[in-house]
Amino acid sequence: MAWIYLVIAGLFEWGWPVGLKLGLTDSGLHWGWILFAVFCMIASGALLLIAQKTIPMGTAYAVWTGIGATGAFVLGILLFGEPATLARIFFVGLIVVGILGLKLASD
């Protein structure tokens, strides 16, 4: 169950960079998006806390940040038109391999 909490925590990690990106524009602050970002931060941290009760801290943190970084990368491409170069995709792929490796090594 801890791994499920950890994955959900990683998914909430996607929300806060998106909320911050949409929360500050040239026309000013958009408090709804800022509050969405804060909610995602709190939910993500709380679920990480629960997951770390049984998953080693270093493993949990690496997986959590890896899921967050990978999701933010994909959302940046899909939502904000960020570049999807082969090199960027390759190196994010290495992060995914690391996440899977940590999961396999922890069983």
**Domain spans of the chain?**
2-106
The predicted pLDDT at position 107 comes to: 67
Sequence letter at residue 63: V
User: Could you tell me if 69 and 10 are in contact, meaning their C-beta atoms sit under 8 angstroms apart?
Assistant: no
Residue 24's SS3 state is strand
State the average pLDDT over residues 60-73.
Answer: 95
Q: Look at the block and give the residue holding tokens 């026309």.
A: 27
* Model pLDDT for residues 80-107, shown as the tens digit of each residue: 999 999 999 999 999 999 999 988 888 6
Is the pTM higher than 0.85? The answer reads: yes
The predicted pLDDT at position 103 comes to: 86
Question: Is residue 4 pLDDT above 80, yes or no?
Answer: yes
Compute φ and ψ for 24, nearest 5 degrees: -130, 110
| C-alpha dist (Å) from residue 81 to 37, 53, 78 | 20, 38, 6
* Model pLDDT for residues 10-57, shown as the tens digit of each residue: 999 999 999 999 999 999 999 999 999 999 999 999 999 999 999 999
**How many CB atoms are located within 10 Å of the residue 36 CB?**
18
